[in-house]
Amino acid sequence: MREPAVIRMLSDGRRLHLHDGPIDLIIEASGSPRAISAAYEAAARRFVSILDELCSELPLLRSRARKNSERPCGPVAHRMFAAVEPYCEDCFITSMAAVAGSVAEAILESMTAAAKLERAYVNNGGDIAIHLADSHRYKIGMVERPDSPSLFGSLEITARDPVRGIATSGWRGRSFSLGIADAVTVLAACASAADAAATVIANAVNLPDHPGVTRIPAREISPDSDLGDLRVTRGVEPLPESEIIAALDSGARAAESLRDRGLIHSSALCVQGQTRVISPIPSQAFIECSRRSLLHA
């Protein structure tokens, strides 16, 4: 039976929690109390119809995106398609690769349209749309494994940086991955772009046909997965350092290419405790990976 959407404030009284089916958003806005409440109300209003809107064209969103394929109609679906379109000639990708980031972005847009906010974020299970005005900034911690959270790096985004979206993808996450990255975190101009790019880069962090990697057709786990018979990663045995480096190299090449095409700003790749950072040009230490946590991992 259809469960109604959950709209509630978290117990800290500051953050808004919106939940509907597989969508789970944590939202926080800063600004005047009046602006915050207007923004939260706008977020909730936009939220209640978003899942139904997406589900109305789910079969299309789950099918492979191609240059000439049918465009989805819904505004969020449209955003999803636009985010995956740059990749659709090179690899198998569906609009679903950008669903989380696109939802976060759409909700954030409804908030900033309703009120003047200093800063705000909409976190959709790790895919985050952010808003920064004037001299405001966000400090963000990165986690490599959702099942045993420990920070492997941190970064700071200021209003001047061309970054308004953060996304993370990996085989341990909720969505399927074709690669072996524990986590690939991407910073991009918007959340939908970051989401699609993180999926693509995480798929590229790979060791094809490696016997230590367990892969299962997506359909066998989730019968209606958009990935169909593609074999998704379900387990990775401890790998020797040379192989970890090889996988990271492969992912880094993909990330650099996306950076050069202007699709992402920067990215951090993580496999079994080893991290690679792809920085923007000119090179800057945008993402700082703390040595201490690397040793721990």
Which chain residues interact with other proteins by CB under 8 A? 1-4, 10-12, 20-22, 24, 51-52, 55, 58-59, 147, 149, 174, 219-224
CB of 83 to other proteins, least distance (A): 19
Residue with smaller CB distance to other proteins, 143 or 248:
143
CB of 52 to other proteins, least distance (A): 5
CB of 224 to other proteins, least distance (A): 5
Angle (CA) 260 264 268, round 5°: 105
Residue with smaller CB distance to other proteins, 161 or 182:
182
DSSP of 20-79, one letter per residue? ETTEEEEEEEES-HHHHHHHHHHHHHHHTTHHHHHHTTHHHHTSBP-TTSPPP-SHHHHH
Residue 142: HSE in the Cβ half-sphere, 13 Å Cα cutoff: 33
Dist CA 41 CA 115 (whole Å): 10
Residue with smaller CB distance to other proteins, 224 or 260:
224
CB of 128 to other proteins, least distance (A): 18
Dist CA 28 CA 121 (whole Å): 6
Residue with smaller CB distance to other proteins, 53 or 256:
53
Q: Is 172 exposed, middle or buried (0-12, 13-18, 19+ CB in 10 A)?
A: middle
Residue with smaller CB distance to other proteins, 3 or 134:
3
Residue with smaller CB distance to other proteins, 85 or 226:
226
CB of 271 to other proteins, least distance (A): 23
CB of 6 to other proteins, least distance (A): 8
Dist CA 228 CA 19 (whole Å): 27
CB of 216 to other proteins, least distance (A): 11
Residue with smaller CB distance to other proteins, 112 or 154:
154
Long-range pairs, 58-64, Cβ under 8 A, ≥24 = 60/95, 61/94, 61/95, 61/96, 61/99, 61/226, 62/94, 62/95, 62/96, 62/224, 62/225, 62/226, 63/94, 63/226, 64/88, 64/92, 64/93, 64/94
